[in-house]
Amino acid sequence: MVKIELKNLDFAYNGSMVLKNISHHFEQGKLISIVGPNGSGKSTILKCMDRILQPKNGTISFDERNILNFHADELAKKIAYVPQIEGGTFPATVFDSVLLGRKPHIQWSPRQNDLEVTASMIEKMNLKNISLKSINKLSGGQRQRVFIARALAQEPEVLLLDEPTANLDLKHQIAVLKVLKKLTEQGITVIIAIHDLNLALQFSDHFVLLKDGEVFASGEKEIITNENIEKLYDIKVNIIKQKDKIFIIPLS
Amino acid sequence: MSKEIIQEYKQFTTRKRLFIWVCIFLLLLFVVLGLLIGASSISLNNIIHIFTGNSEDINRQIILNIRLPRVLSAVLAGTALSVSGTVMQSILRNPLGSPFTLGISNAAAFGAAFAVIILGAGSTQSNVNDAVLINNPYLITISAFFWSLVSTVIILLMARFKDASPETMILTGIILGSLFIAGTTGLEYFAEDVELSTIVFWTFGDLGRASWREFYILLAIVIPSLFYFMSNRWNIRSLNTGDETANSLGVNVEKTRIKVMLVASLTTAVAVSFFGIIAFVGLVVPHLVRKMIGSDERFLIPATALFGGVFLLASDLLARSIIAPMVLPVGILTSFIGAPLFIFLLFKGKGKGIWLR
């Protein structure tokens, strides 16, 4: 089932085209990795999908309905976004940060149900021992988990994450992606912008390769070929297949 | 398991609620003290009698027409400045966000100078009771208010045409502040002695100018804006996490930031145009309260509203009694208390993140 569909999407920033005529659809319950060189438009595409940026032309639909027709709170209950870097000047506790994800659901004060959802996301993300700690005292990995927990507290159907594994060590990179993968089993569509191809290869169901603001190729693992990667990044690579796993080694 | 987490969290918020109750208690206490303390000694019994009975003596005049409006105006002005500072800090994500950093007070001071020199509102006479006698105090107030709104509108226009980022707003505010200081200095250069002293006296933040009329106007502005901030507290909290996250949580980022800024500026402008520049309250009170109960706007907004009222009221009491029977303008005192307090907060919090619980 198609969850999000982009049709002829153009996005320009200060006159220069960042996304050019992008048409693509994202299937429900899949983990989709958007990969491509720096400046290829990965973050921009995510931000357009959550209406943070307004495309110049084209439409984005969620369940066949234009996202422009959603009320802000309504959209926030459907699509959640985790930015790459989040700069809060006055940090809150873990619990308060996650509770903020209930904002689209809360009228005036949080109800018992909001507290319960918050607590269960805290448990899910393995943060229960630090639920009253301030988030600026956490490690990068813990903080990333807090932001994912907050996005999950929105109870979205689509989760967009910009570089969720940046700044994380190997163990936490795997942990975060495992969690995301598990979410897809519950029917949540997870779309990530990611640089680490090997990590993406291990966990993703689908790939979108972006180059210069255009979809260069898309599909399952099969599209990750020497030819495609070399064209995408302008470097030589060696692709090693081991059992059903694929590894990419860049050659200088 | 999740019950435990919720239980812990509820205990955590109970402490914040407790702080709010302590502030309410302190507020009541200082209001009573504010009525008791003054040049002529009036006992608590006497005051109770004035409020319940209908004694017609001079004390009734003092309590009902001098002390009570002054005390209540102090509370409202403290609330106005502190809450405005708090929400400005949060939506601009800047610990230095306050009515003063955004140039609003300097604009008001310019407005006062403008009224005195260009519009001829002030002349000073020395008499026994008061050093300054301003011919037309309302003209000064209106002009101060007008110019502080001009400064706000320029900041908001900049935000409209460039972008509504916190950096744009703070920088515009600082630059505007300097521009208005230059304007005031320019006016002062051409002023006569009498005019000059009128301007200088106006800039001293002084609650002695409070009467019932000021109180009612303040009340009509401060209470609705408090309600506005409270009803927007989740939006304000979201903005503090960053524009993108806020957007994703369903907040209309630019609209909210501009509206909250406008209401906060209006609230400040009223207090400043009535009472002159009462420095540091809008900066120090939010930080003190953040330090005590954390930065959750749900509790922070009511707590700073109350604590700000207590802070200014207590400062004014001190100002009235420290060199009695002379009365010090409270603005001088808040600067003397506020500046060291801010530096103390800065050092105490070193390395620990002072903006935290």
A54 touches chain B (CB under 8 A): no
Report the relative pairing of strands A65-66 and A57-62 from DSSP bridges: antiparallel
Q: Which of B95, B244, B249 sits opposite A76 (nearest CB)?
A: B249
**Residue tagged 């009975």 (tokens):** B53
Contact, A155 vs A77, CB < 8 A?
yes
**Residue tagged 């590894």 (tokens):** A247
> Could you tell me which chain A residue has the CA closest to the CA of B353?
A136
pLDDT 10s digits, B63-100: 778 888 999 999 999 999 999 999 998 888 888 888 88
Q: Which of B231, B240, B251 sits opposite A88 (nearest CB)?
A: B240
Query: Two tokens at A132?
Result: 């009253």
User: A57-67 burial string, b = 16+ CB within 10 Å, else e?
Assistant: ebebbbeeeeb
Helix and strand numbers, DSSP H then E, in chain A: 8, 12
Q: What are phi and psi of B316, to 5 degrees?
A: -65, -35
The sign of the CA dihedral A160, A165, A167, A168 is: positive
pLDDT given for residue B164 in this prediction: 65
Q: Do the Cβ atoms of B244 and A136 come within 8 Å?
A: no
Domain boundaries, chain B: 2-348
Counting as low any pLDDT under 50, the low residues of chain B are 125-129, 131, 133, 350-357
Q: Do the Cβ atoms of A103 and B247 come within 8 Å?
A: no
> Could you tell me which chain A residue has the CA closest to the CA of B352?
A137
**Close Cβ partners of B281 (under 8 Å, ≥ 6 residues apart):** B78, B81, B82, B85, B308, B311, B312, B315, B334, B338
Q: How many CA atoms lie within 13 A of B141 on its CB side?
A: 17
CA–CA separation, A250 and A79 (whole Å): 35
Query: Two tokens at B329?
Result: 């303008």
Beta bridge partners of A5: A25, A61
pLDDT given for residue B271 in this prediction: 86
Residues of B in contact with A106 (CB under 8 A): 234
Q: Which of B5, B234, B295 sits opposite A90 (nearest CB)?
A: B295
Distance from CA of B295 to the nearest CA of A (A): 6
Q: How far is CA A246 from CA A14, A34, A230, A231, B240, in A?
A: 39, 17, 15, 18, 42
Q: Which of B2, B9, B353 sits opposite A91 (nearest CB)?
A: B353
Q: Do the Cβ atoms of A131 and B9 come within 8 Å?
A: yes
CA–CA separation, B42 and B55 (whole Å): 13
Report the relative pairing of strands A189-193 and A206-211 from DSSP bridges: unpaired
Give me the domains of chain A, ranges plus CATH numbers: 2-88+157-251 (3.40.50.300)
Q: How many CA atoms lie within 13 A of B168 on its CB side?
A: 16
Residues of A in contact with B238 (CB under 8 A): 100, 103
A111 touches chain B (CB under 8 A): no
Distance from CA of B170 to the nearest CA of A (A): 14
For the domain made up of B2-348, the CATH class stated in words is mainly alpha
A79 touches chain B (CB under 8 A): yes
Chain centroid to Cα B182, Å, comes to: 24
Residues of B in contact with A115 (CB under 8 A): 6, 9
Q: What are phi and psi of A192, to 5 degrees?
A: -125, 145
- The number of beta carbons lying within 10 Å of the beta carbon of residue A95 is 27
Q: What are phi and psi of A217, to 5 degrees?
A: -160, 155
> Could you tell me which chain A residue has the CA closest to the CA of B86?
A90
Phi-psi region of A58 (alpha: psi -120 to 50; beta: other; left: phi over 0): left
Q: Is the peptide bond before B340 cis (omega within 30 degrees of 0)?
A: no
Q: Do the Cβ atoms of B249 and A97 come within 8 Å?
A: no
Q: Which of A96, A108, A137 sits opposite B296 (nearest CB)?
A: A96
CA–CA separation, B213 and B137 (whole Å): 13
Residues of A in contact with B248 (CB under 8 A): 50, 52, 76, 79-81, 83, 151
pLDDT 10s digits, B73-82: 999 999 999 9
Residues of B in contact with A130 (CB under 8 A): none
Q: Do the Cβ atoms of A103 and B242 come within 8 Å?
A: no
Q: How many CA atoms lie within 13 A of B189 on its CB side?
A: 6
Q: How many CA atoms lie within 13 A of B51 on its CB side?
A: 10
- For chain A, 252 residues long, the average pLDDT of each consecutive 10-residue run is 85 84 88 89 89 87 88 91 80 91 90 92 88 86 89 93 86 88 91 90 90 85 83 84 82 76
Helix (H, G, I), strand (E, B) or coil at B345: helix
CA dihedral A31, A33, A34, A38 (to 10 degrees): 140
